[in-house]
Structures are given as C-alpha cells and as structure tokens.
C-alpha cells in the first residue's frame, strides 16, 4: 500500500536528529458498544493517543480526538497525524474517556472507560490497514457491554499533500417526520469516506470501514434543511481519489440520546461534482433489515474543487533554507543566589577539576547546536543581576556581556564563552533576579521584518539558577513576546527548588494557557524550560541537553509563520550554506565548528598559582593584578579565584582559543 520506502518523505522529529526513512500517516478512530457511564444518557466519548516506550512503559502524548455527545458508537472526524518509521518499533496506547467537563486537557475531570494498545507496524500491514481491538479496563480485563465486547477500530492512510479544497453545499428535501404528531425533524448531515478494499465498501450503518470526514451543524424543525457551505481538504475528503465511495448520512438529533439514522446514500466526489442543482440524489433507508429507497432526496447546490488558500505544510528546515534569518541571544544570570565563584559549590565555579562552570557547559552544549542557524554568526550576549561597578553599587538587570555599551554582539559561541569569563572577573554577583528586562530586550531585537520578502526569528537562550523575583512582570513580558517571532529557551542550572520549578513550568505553558495579571493570554507557547541537573544524569548530558532544549523550537517557528500565513521564502543562495551539512553532526555531540581546537578550554600547568583574594584587593588597590594573573596574558584557562574585581583587564583577543 505504501510503495517504495526509498521514495517516502524525510522529516526530522526535531532539529539535528539524523533523518530517517519515514512518512506521515493519518489515524482515524471509531468505537462500538461503549458502556454507559452517565446515569440518564449515553456516554460522551473522546480518545487520547500516546506513544508508549516498551522499555520504561512511559507515555508520550500524541493528540486527542474531539468529544462526541451521547453516542456509544462514535466515529471521530478528527484525524491524528503521526510519523511512521519502519525501522523503529512504535507502540501506540489509546485511552477512551467519557466527557464530563468542557476542559479536555484535565483528564481527572472525566470518567475513564478503557484502553487499548497496538504496534503501529501491525496496523500498517493489516488487511485494509485496520485493526479492531477489544477495550480493556484499568485492571486489564476485557470490557463487556450487554454481553458484547466494547471495541475500538483504528485505521491508517498514507497522507498525501494536496493543496486543494472541496467546497460542498447541499440541502435535503422531504425528510421523514419522526413522530405520530408530525413534528418536524432536527437533523444534521455526516459525510464519510470509504477505506479498505474497493470491493468491500458497504452501506451498513454499523460497518466500521468508513472514516468520518465532517458533521454539519444542526438544523432545527425542518424537513427541507439547507446545510452550510463546507470547505474540506481534498486529502481529507477522499485522499485525492475522485472515485472513492463517499457516504452521506442524515441523522435526527435527539438531546441526551444517540442520534437516529434517517437516511443515507452512497456517492463519490466525481458524482457530486457532476450532479447539477436541478437534479437530485436519492436517499435510502434501512427497514426491517433491508435497504429500501426513501421518499427523500439530496440536492447538490455547490460541489467544486478549488486551490486551497491555506499554507502548505512546511518544515523548519524549509524556512531555514528559504532564507529565514535567525538571531541567537544568550542571557546569563549573575545574581548572588548562584554562590561565590570561589566556592566549589558555586554554579559559576571555574576551577579544578573541570575548569568549566555549569553555565559555561550549558552555553557550549546548547550553543554549538544553535550557532549554525545564526545568520551572521554574531551572537547577542547579555548578563543580568550583577553589580557592574564594585565596590560602588551599580546593579544592572540587562547589560552587554562584553561590558562595552555599544558592543552587544560577540563572534560565535567562543566569543560568548570568552565574554562570560571576562565579565565574571570584573563584576560582582548581586541581585535581585529579574527576567523581564532581558525578555523585553529580546522583544526589541525580535521586532524586525518578518513577511513574504524577508523573514527573521530570534531565539533567547536564558541560563539561570531558576529563581526570579519579578514573576508578574516576567509573565507580562512573555505574553507580549508571544506575538513576535521569538522563542525563549530557559535552562535552569543547579538544584532548582520545587516552587521555582513550578514557576518556570507556568511560563512553559505546554498544557494550559499563559495568562498575565491583566487577563491577557499568550498567543502561542514560546517558552521551553529544561532542568540541567536532570540532564546531567543521562548517559550523554551535552547531547541530551541540546535535544531537550530544541524539542519545541521547530514547532514554535512553524506556528508563528502559519499564524502570519507566511510560507517559506523561495530558496536562495545562503552564504553559510556549508553549515547546514553539519547540523546533524553537531546535534549528535560532534563539535564541527572547533576544527582548530577540540577543547575550547585546555587545562594549564599553573593550577597552583596564588591569585589575590577580594580582601587583598580591597586592602591594596594598587596591586598589579596583571602580573599576578598570568593566565590572562598567556591563555584562556578558565580559573576564576574571585569575583567583583573592579579593575581586571579584558582578555587579549589575540590569545583566543
């Protein structure tokens, strides 16, 4: 069914992972004979889909269907698109719930019905690409309802990208009355497309070889209802096959009860297009187990296929290769809560045995993946929360890391690392911790053209110990930033407290909307929060950190572009084109940009040198610090024996390693 695997699309799950042979599949779900969870009406079911790790049994959210009211035999119209990789064992877990609340995100508010699991490869190779699975309860027992099993059916079809829409409008004539009193009917129309083998298409109402395309609105008290114009993707309507059987069903809507089938017909897109308004299509009814022609009919007012005005699906790399310019901005926390850099427990400690603080390691591991995307390799570097003029007090919550007012950008990640070391020798850790000024500065940088002629996007990498004291202002700043081409990656180093972690997770609004104290809601999720301590427990911390921090970035870029209805620019010549070939290697932990020196910070042979303490400097302001700090003139050994020094010279750029 799926053809030559060498011809399928290539798409990465997230930036930097080596591409695999894979394709997009659309999953459609139906259920039959679900138990009644409500006292006076049938269940209102919906399904939640997860990837399941067969080794750890951990579940990763994929998506959810819509909820269908009062129906034990639902056909869900919402398809769930997934990536199928034939070289991987992909297990899917589906939970079925009865809706008791409008918030489908909080599953604790709903009644649990049951679950099923299957291997995606089994679905792909199954007859008609369909599996019917008996639902199980939480204790693993098969669910029975009226002495019959509760069943979930899942089907898959290869997704074919087609930038066409079907425009369909129709009305029914002479629908049957549904009571002895002659009350007019409340009706809605459901359209299905056939799946499975072409010879096995059936019109049986209970047949599960039909995938719902859409439900119309409900028309009240009318035997001749006119349904609104529907615009449906050609892919969803018939997957590009104009002769594929289409089922149109008219249901009676009954509040707090399962819909009642009034009539149905089988047609095709080709027939719908060719049927003139003066002609009609005859409906059929099920009577005493037999299909009989009904006295009602369907008039096709409009059925055309037009080019879609929606943006075709585009990947993150489509935008990059089209000329999207990315500006990387790094912000480093210099507040006192990080601890005295002289102390081994400080997050800014640069002495033995690693000669690399947690901040510096985070800069390198994330920065080397992001660096190739920066359009000019000049990275905006800032610090916050420091006293810039010790022993006087001049606290800044947003300052250039170079400590030069008009020098905001530095050359590459190596330049960020060098500026970080230099700043750490010259400033004093202080406080409080404010994020809002840094985020507002990122907003100012991100307020650049992003249109159909030029596209820019800014990434703020904010590295902190997790605590911040301007929560309301920070939330307002993030809400404002959500309207701009900007993403924020927050890496928390050190042992972040539970309360601080919760505050960070609020900003990373994966499951709930971010709303500020003025009632303004973030337009989209732009924050990715990662705890560095947890990453350090993995087998390859640097690679894991890069993957975790970049997990949401491609989606955030694409969401912004779709919100602005901006397709990728036409492919142009990019000066740094050679870097694209190195992205995947960088993501796997290979430092492709440090060709001349695989170790940015070589260890030195003078680790026993005695450097002046803060007390000695304050007692003797005339001390010759350059002579007592030979590493400044000789090499960039990242040893920082003190902080808050008021007059240390900048590093000599000629000694840049």
Q: For residue 626, is it within any domain?
A: no
Residues 6+ apart with CB under 8 A from 366: 461, 489, 491, 545, 546, 549, 550
pLDDT band at 632 (very low <50, low <70, confident <90, very high): very low
| Mean pLDDT of all residues belonging to the chain | 77
CA distance 95 to 117: 9
Query: What are phi and psi for residue 365, nearest 5 degrees?
Result: -70, -40
> How distant, in Å, are the alpha carbons of 314, 384, 437 from that of 429?
44, 9, 17
Q: Per-residue pLDDT tens for 486-507?
A: 999 998 888 888 888 888 888 8
Cross-strand bridge partners of residue 409: 380
Q: Are residues 360 and 286 in the same domain?
A: no
Q: For residue 574, is it within any domain?
A: no
Residues 6+ apart with CB under 8 A from 573: none
Query: What are phi and psi for residue 580, nearest 5 degrees?
Result: -60, -35
Looking at residue 521, what DSSP letter applies?
B
pLDDT number for residue 606: 29
Q: Which of 324, 322, 357 is nearest to 342 (CA)?
A: 357
Of 547, 565, 583, the one marking the end of a domain is 565
Q: Are residues 284 and 185 in the same domain?
A: yes
Q: Are residues 272 and 403 in the same domain?
A: no
Q: Are residues 188 and 78 in the same domain?
A: no
> How distant, in Å, are the alpha carbons of 444, 479, 502 from that of 520?
20, 7, 20
Q: For residue 43, is it within any domain?
A: yes
Of 137, 158, 179, the one marking the end of a domain is 158
Does 321 score more than 70 pLDDT? no
Three-class secondary structure of residue 456 per DSSP: strand
Q: Are residues 247 and 174 in the same domain?
A: yes
CA distance 554 to 457: 11
Q: Are residues 283 and 358 in the same domain?
A: no
CA distance 113 to 33: 12
E strand or H helix that includes residue 51: strand 45-52
Exposure b/e, 151-166, CB count within 10 A at least 16 = b = bbbbbbbbbeebeebb
CA distance 238 to 233: 9
Q: Are residues 458 and 378 in the same domain?
A: yes
Cross-strand bridge partners of residue 351: none
* Least trusted range by pLDDT, from 110-124, 285-299, 561-575, 621-635: 621-635
pLDDT band at 352 (very low <50, low <70, confident <90, very high): confident
CA distance 637 to 630: 10
Task: Give how many domains the chain has, as a whole number.
Answer: 3
| Contact indicator for 164, 182 with CB cutoff of 8 Å | no
pLDDT band at 181 (very low <50, low <70, confident <90, very high): low
Q: Per-residue pLDDT tens for 511-533?
A: 678 899 888 999 999 998 888 87
Tokens of 624: 């010759």
> How distant, in Å, are the alpha carbons of 42, 113, 201 from that of 136?
19, 8, 29
| Contact indicator for 307, 162 with CB cutoff of 8 Å | no
- Expressed in percent and rounded to 5, the helix, strand and coil fractions of the chain are 25, 30, 45
Q: For residue 593, is it within any domain?
A: no
pLDDT band at 56 (very low <50, low <70, confident <90, very high): confident
Dihedral in degrees, nearest 10, Cα atoms 175, 176, 182, 188: -50
Highest mean pLDDT among 351-355, 577-581, 636-640: 351-355
Q: Is the model more confident about 579 or about 426? A: 426
Q: For residue 607, is it within any domain?
A: no
pLDDT band at 547 (very low <50, low <70, confident <90, very high): low
Q: Is the model more confident about 7 or about 564? A: 564
How much is the average pLDDT of 256-281? Answer: 91
Count other C-beta atoms under 10 Å from residue 654's C-beta: 6
| Contact indicator for 68, 215 with CB cutoff of 8 Å | no
Q: Are residues 438 and 478 in the same domain?
A: yes
- The CATH number of residue 121's host domain is 2.60.40.150
Looking at residue 141, what DSSP letter applies?
P
Q: For residue 108, is it within any domain?
A: yes
How much is the average pLDDT of 128-133? Answer: 87
Q: Are residues 346 and 294 in the same domain?
A: no
- Taken in order 474, 476, 482, 483, is the CA torsion positive or negative? negative
Q: Are residues 352 and 233 in the same domain?
A: no
Tokens of 498: 């539970």
- Taken in order 634, 638, 640, 641, is the CA torsion positive or negative? negative
Q: Are residues 128 and 190 in the same domain?
A: no
> What's the chain's Rg over C-alpha atoms?
31
Looking at residue 582, what DSSP letter applies?
G
pLDDT band at 288 (very low <50, low <70, confident <90, very high): confident
Of 565, 596, 627, the one marking the end of a domain is 565
pLDDT number for residue 477: 94
* Least trusted range by pLDDT, from 100-104, 108-112, 197-201, 352-356: 197-201
pLDDT band at 362 (very low <50, low <70, confident <90, very high): confident
| Contact indicator for 626, 613 with CB cutoff of 8 Å | no
- The CATH number of residue 473's host domain is 3.40.50.410
Q: Are residues 336 and 293 in the same domain?
A: no
Q: For residue 554, is it within any domain?
A: yes
Residues 6+ apart with CB under 8 A from 99: 44, 45, 46, 67, 69, 110
Tokens of 602: 């070589």
Q: For residue 621, is it within any domain?
A: no
CA distance 214 to 233: 11
> How distant, in Å, are the alpha carbons of 8, 11, 217, 235, 580 from that of 22?
6, 7, 37, 19, 21
Domain that holds residue 191: 164-307
Q: Per-residue pLDDT tens for 220-238?
A: 999 999 999 999 988 889 8
Q: Is the model more confident about 341 or about 122? A: 341
């Amino acid at each position: 069914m799926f053809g030559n695997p060498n011809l399928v699309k290539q798409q990465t799950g997230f930036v930097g992972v080596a591409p695999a042979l894979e394709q997009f599949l659309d999953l459609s779900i139906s259920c039959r004979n679900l138990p009644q969870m409500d006292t006076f009406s049938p269940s209102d079911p919906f399904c939640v889909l997860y990837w399941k790790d067969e080794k750890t049994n951990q579940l990763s959210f994929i998506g959810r269907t819509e909820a269908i009211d009062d129906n034990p035999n639902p056909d869900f119209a919402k398809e769930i698109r997934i990536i199928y990789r034939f070289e991987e064992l992909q297990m899917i877990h589906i939970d079925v719930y009865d809706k008791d609340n409008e918030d489908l995100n909080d599953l604790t508010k709903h009644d649990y019905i049951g679950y099923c699991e299957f291997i995606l490869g089994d679905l792909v190779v199954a007859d008609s690409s369909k599996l019917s699975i008996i639902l199980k309860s939480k204790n693993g027992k098969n669910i029975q309802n009226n002495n019959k099993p509760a069943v979930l059916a899942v089907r898959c079809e290869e997704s074919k990208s087609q930038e066409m829409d079907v425009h369909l409008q129709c009305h029914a004539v002479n629908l049957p009355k549904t009571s002895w009193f002659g009350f007019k009917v409340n009706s809605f129309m459901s359209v299905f497309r056939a799946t499975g083998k072409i010879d096995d298409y059936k019109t049986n109402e209970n047949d599960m070889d039909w995938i719902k395309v859409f439900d119309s609105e409900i028309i009240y008290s009318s035997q001749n209802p006119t349904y609104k114009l529907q615009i449906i993707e050609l892919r969803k309507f018939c997957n590009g096959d104009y002769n594929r059987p289409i089922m149109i069903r008219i249901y009676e809507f009954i509040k707090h009860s399962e819909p009642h089938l009034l009539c149905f017909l089988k047609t095709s897109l080709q027939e719908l297009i060719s049927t003139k308004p003066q002609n009609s299509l005859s409906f059929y009814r099920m009577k005493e187990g037999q299909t009989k022609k009904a006295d009602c009919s369907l008039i096709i007012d409009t059925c055309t296929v037009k080019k879609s005005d929606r943006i075709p699906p585009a990947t993150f790399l489509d935008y990059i290769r089209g000329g999207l310019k990315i500006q990387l901005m790094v912000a480093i926390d210099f507040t006192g809560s990080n601890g005295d850099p002289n102390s081994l427990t400080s997050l800014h400690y640069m002495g033995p045995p690693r000669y690399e603080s947690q901040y510096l390691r985070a800069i390198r591991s994330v920065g080397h993946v992001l660096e190739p995307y920066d359009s000019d390799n000049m990275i905006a570097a800032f610090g916050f929360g420091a006293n810039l003029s010790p022993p006087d007090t001049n606290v800044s919550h947003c300052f250039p890391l170079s400590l030069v007012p008009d020098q905001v950008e530095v050359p590459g990640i190596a330049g960020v690392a060098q500026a970080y070391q230099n700043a750490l020798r010259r400033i004093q850790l202080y406080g409080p911790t404010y994020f809002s000024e840094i985020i507002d500065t990122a907003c100012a940088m991100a307020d650049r053209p992003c249109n159909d002629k030029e596209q820019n996007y800014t990434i703020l990498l904010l590295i902190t110990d997790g605590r911040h004291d301007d929560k309301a202002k920070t939330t307002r700043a993030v809400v404002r930033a959500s309207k701009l081409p900007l993403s924020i990656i927050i890496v928390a180093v050190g042992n972040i407290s539970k309360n601080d972690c919760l505050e960070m997770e609020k900003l990373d609004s994966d499951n709930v909307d971010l709303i500020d104290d003025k009632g303004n809601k973030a337009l989209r999720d732009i924050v990715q929060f990662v705890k560095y301590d947890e990453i350090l427990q993995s087998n390859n911390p640097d690679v894991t950190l890069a993957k975790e921090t970049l997990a949401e970035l491609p989606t955030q870029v694409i969401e912004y572009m779709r919100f602005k209805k901006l397709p990728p620019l036409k492919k142009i010549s990019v000066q740094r084109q050679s870097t694209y070939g190195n992205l995947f290697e960088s993501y796997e932990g290979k430092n492709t940009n440090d060709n001349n020196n695989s170790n940015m910070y070589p260890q030195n042979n003078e680790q026993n040198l005695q450097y002046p303490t803060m007390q000695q400097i304050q007692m003797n302001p005339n001390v010759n610090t350059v002579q007592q700090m030979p590493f400044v003139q000789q090499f960039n050994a990242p040893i920082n024996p003190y902080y808050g020094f008021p007059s240390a010279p900048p590093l000599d750029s000629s000694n840049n390693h």
